Amino acid sequence: MNVIISASELASDLAGARPPVLLDVRWQLSMAKATGEPSFDGRAEYAAGHLPGAVFVDLDRELAAPPGRGGRHPLPDLGEFGAAMRRAGVSADRPVVVYDGGQGWAAARAWWLLRWTGHPDVRVLDGGLAAWQGPLSTEVPRPEPGDFEPVPGETGLLDADAAAALAKSGLLLDARAGERYRGEVEPIDPVGGHIPGAVSAPTTQNVGPDGRLLPADELRARFAALGVTDGTEVGVYCGSGVSAAHEVLALAAAGVPAALYAGSWSEWSADPNRPVAVGPDPQ
């Protein structure tokens, strides 16, 4: 699956007859509980300079519903999500490229949502804005409204019960940092640890020092070492369904389909009746 695009390829596509819609999804997670702010968006960074023609997308408000029982970043209302995408100029028959500051997590959340709701041609700028060598703009575009109508996919999404079952029947990957998986620290959610049976697979290990995804063969080798074999049913979760989307992206680049547990640990750990495992082993 062609899920990423290089900066040079993007520059060529933008100069072509059918340039893609550009979405700027700069966002960063705050790891400090005391602030009361789980994340901040990149509006100021966008205003200071963005790819020409790119429309800013607010992850917390347009790619997620308000925090609640479904976690810190529940899936957005699809009517509101569709309206936001149409305002940004997204149409079903026009390619879309999403980017963020370089970490790739926020861009992957937008990629996953668009793909899961039926858009056929969405890619992430590999390496994000940091990889872009072309000019930047401070002009805020006013795109023609698009026609994209999101339709939820029949597969590719897990709830808490399905994630628990997959940890036993298939392979459930935990995309968070290893120390959070082991329960040694928990800077955001109320309880540390992991879903019993889940395998630690930090998504930060899917990229190289330059912030770009590892080559597909290296990703395939990494996931094989984690237990991915032909026919393995794979799911991914993280803290709130953002960095896990990046792991789903990496799996897709390696040719492995995977489902996302959108509620992730923020939903799981908020329910005292759900079991929690600690330590380096899945169980």
* 210 within domain boundaries: yes
Among the listed ranges 31-40, 94-103, 168-177, 194-203, which one has the minimum average pLDDT value?
A: 31-40
Are 27 and 123 in the same domain? yes
- 117 and 202, same domain (yes or no): no
Q: Domain for residue 38, yes or no?
A: yes
Burial class (CB in 10 A: 0-12, 13-18, 19+), 31: middle
The reply to whether 16 and 104 lie within a common domain is yes
d(CA 1, CA 245): 15
- 172 and 116 in a single domain? The answer is no
pTM over 0.85: yes
- Per-residue pLDDT band for 181 (boundaries 50, 70, 90) equals very high
- Only one residue has tokens 């063969």, namely 217
User: For the segment 31-88, what is each residue's pLDDT rounded down to a tens digit?
Assistant: 444 344 445 678 899 999 999 999 999 999 999 999 998 999 999 999 999 999 999 9
So what's the pLDDT on residue 96? 98
Coil/strand/helix, residue 56 = strand
Are 228 and 127 found together in one domain? no
Is 43 inside a domain boundary? Answer: yes
Do residues 77 and 41 share a domain? yes
| HEC readout, 108-167 | HHHHHHHHHCCCCCEEEECCHHHHCCCCCECCCCCCCCCCCCCCCCCCCEECHHHHHHHH
The alpha carbon of residue 274 and the mean position of all alpha carbons in its chain are separated, in whole angstroms, by 25
Q: Which domain CATH number covers 181?
A: 3.40.250.10
Report, as residue numbers or ranges, the catalytic residues: 238
pLDDT digits (tens, 9 = 90+) for 246-257: 999 999 999 999
On whether residue 79 sits in a domain, the answer given is yes
Residue 151 belongs to some domain of the structure: no
Q: Is 230 contained in some domain?
A: yes
User: Cα separation of 129 and 51, whole Å?
Assistant: 8
Query: How many structural domains comprise the chain?
Result: 2
Does 30 share its domain with 102? yes
**Domain coverage including residue 252:** 157-268
Which domain-ending residue is among 115, 131, 147? 131
Indicate if 117 and 205 belong to the same structural domain. no
pLDDT in tens, 85-129: 999 999 999 999 999 998 899 999 999 999 999 999 999 999 999
Are 207 and 246 in the same domain? yes
Same domain? For 26 and 125 the reply is yes
**Do both 16 and 119 map to the same domain?**
yes
20 in the same domain as 78: yes
